[in-house]
Amino acid sequence: MNAQAMMNKIKAGQLDDAFRRVYVTDGEVAKQKSRYMELLTTFAETFGGDREVHLMSAPGRTEICGNHTDHNHGKVLAAAINLDAIAVASKNEDGVVRVKSAGHQMNVADLADLAPNADAFGHSTAMVRGVSARLSDLGYTVGGYDAVTTSDVMGGSGLSSSAAYEILVATIIDCFFGGGTLDPVERAKVGQYAENVYFGKPCGLMDQMGSSVGGAVAIDFADPAAPVVKKVEYDFTRSGHALC
């Protein structure tokens, strides 16, 4: 459906259950509905209102324990948070990725040239190209799309804004070209590769894993190439606790 039809569904409450699965509380759902509708309006203004669109989200993460142990073969306990990067995206047929993020210039990546470029270190376009390149190397189909994004995962806050962005990009590609089949752990590894090789940051895997798997997650990195990942079922709402 196009942007206006998606906004009508949001207004009618038809996506409330989907929002609640991500944002949990009724108050947060109400706030997020306005946020997504604003981004849908931005997409229509940027790329046209007649395009078929999809909504995507990837959360930031916090480390409950295990600071920097991920790249030292240790164990971590991480958790996704209710601050996230979101996108309105639409598939295109020209083999080019265009991503307009709030407050930033349009990022354009031609999928015909996905070689790493040190001059692009630190730029979000590098992450877009890195995720596409790694998925292609692994045998996944990649293709062009147009997207607008916004994020309330604050840059430089230690909540992994870059990992959230990488997981968001991988989710878009998986939705349009992979049928939603990409395993969360593989998706995290793809994001880490993009950050290490294309963005120029030698991070471990905890950031991307926390965003990709979601919820609270325990990870054993004794073998970094094959981390042992276990979801930790814990309901902060029912316990009367909050993670701040």
With the C-alpha atoms ordered 116, 117, 122, 126, is the resulting torsion angle positive or negative? negative
With the C-alpha atoms ordered 188, 145, 57, 152, is the resulting torsion angle positive or negative? positive
**Which residue of the set 207, 220, 223, 235 is catalytic?**
207
The two three-digit tokens of residue 13, written as one number? 């409450």
∠ CA 218-225-200, nearest 5°, is 95
SS (H, E, C) 20-32: HHHHCCHHHHHHH
Catalytic site includes residue 94: no
- Residue 1, C-beta contacts closer than 8 angstroms, at least 6 positions apart: 9, 52, 53
Give the residue numbers marked as catalytic: 207
